[in-house]
Amino acid sequence: MTGQPPSPADHIVILTGAGVSAESGLGTFRDKGGLWEEYPVEQVATPEGFAADPALVQRFYNMRRAHAAEAQPNDAHHALALLQRDHPGRVTLITQNVDALHEAAGSDPVIHMHGALAGALCATCDHRWSAPQEMRAGEVCPACAAPTARPDIVWFGEMPYHMEEIIGALSQATLFAAIGTSGQVYPAAGFVQIAAEAGAHCVEINLDASATVSDFDTAIRGPATETVPAWVDGLLG
Ligand code: APR
């Protein structure tokens, strides 16, 4: 699509990951010094870990919620919001991130397939509400009064959110871009294949080659705050 004027027929589907928020000061998961190096994933990001030590899990997400609250959107978030606003066709923005930096940059809508730090979920009745800045173990659900409130985050072994809508968008995509994601976590890592089968041109925009780099048509390397604004400029013409 680059080099041609943007067309209302172009449906751009974008998947973002932790790399897009890295330059806003939020750590990634699998880079050197990433979150999963310091916190064992099975303890803080699985239903079993939560059952074993809910206080530890709540502390982990309280810490991440506090960091995310201090972070500001960067030039990559702003460029994607501009693309969503000014592209004459559809732009579907899917994120694996649980921060709200796409929204803070003005993106709307944003599909949070792995949930959001801002949300609380009752493990008993599935009621959802806004999470307080600090959640405690045994926090009570305002709907059913069970002491089973948890962060509204999709943990390993759980089904990501909005999959029907996402698959629908991918199967109509003409351009697919994966930005700042290592391609190691499914189903998100498989989106490129669905988009490619639908005939979309697939672009990887990442610091390093992802695990699924061979499924993409093009790769753009560099920090997201530089590569994403340049890519969006090229698309909008
Ligand atoms: N600009 C562009 N890319 C970057 C930058 C940057 N400034 N910094 C890091 N990256 C890239 C890294 O090269 C890496 O490939 O971002 C990617 C981050 O990968 P991960 O840490 O694995 O994050 P992500 O792919 O979003 O993880 C997916 O895994 O643990 C789960 O639920 C969690 O949503 C998360 C999912």
Q: What's the pLDDT tens digit per position in 173-185?
A: 999 999 999 999 9
Q: Residue 158's pLDDT is what?
A: 97
Q: Tell me what the mean pLDDT of segment 225-229 comes to.
A: 98
Q: What confidence tier does 6 reach under pLDDT thresholds 50, 70, 90?
A: confident
Question: Does 233 lie in the same domain as 130?
Answer: no
Going from the Cα of 20 to the center of ligand 1, the distance in angstroms, rounded, reads: 8
Average pLDDT on 63-73 reads 97
Shared domain for 225 and 127, answered yes or no, is no
Residue 137 has pLDDT above 80, yes or no: yes
For residue 180 and ligand 1, the question of a CB distance below 6 A is answered with yes
114 catalytic residue (yes or no): yes
Judge contact between 205 and 176, C-beta under 8 A: no
Note whether 109 and 211 are same-domain residues.
yes
Tell me, yes or no, whether 4 and 95 share the same domain.
yes
Query: Does residue 34's CB lie within 6 angstroms of at least one atom of ligand 1?
Result: yes
Which of 77, 102, 112, 114 does the annotation list as catalytic?
Answer: 114
Backbone angles phi, psi at 99, to 5 degrees: -80, 175
Q: Which of 126, 153, 180 is the last residue of a domain?
A: 153
Q: Are 103 and 112 in contact (CB under 8 A)?
A: no
Q: Are residues 102 and 142 in the same domain?
A: no
The parent domain of residue 123 ranges over 28-70+117-153
Gap from CA of 24 to ligand 1 centroid (Å): 13
Clarify whether residues 10 and 89 are in a common domain.
yes
Number of separate domains in the chain: 2
The CATH number of residue 52's host domain is 3.30.1600.10
pLDDT tens sequence across 184-214? 999 999 999 999 999 999 999 999 999 999 9
Mean pLDDT across the chain: 95
Looking at the structure, tell me whether residues 17 and 121 fall in a common domain.
no
| Cβ of 16 less than 6 Å from ligand 1 | no
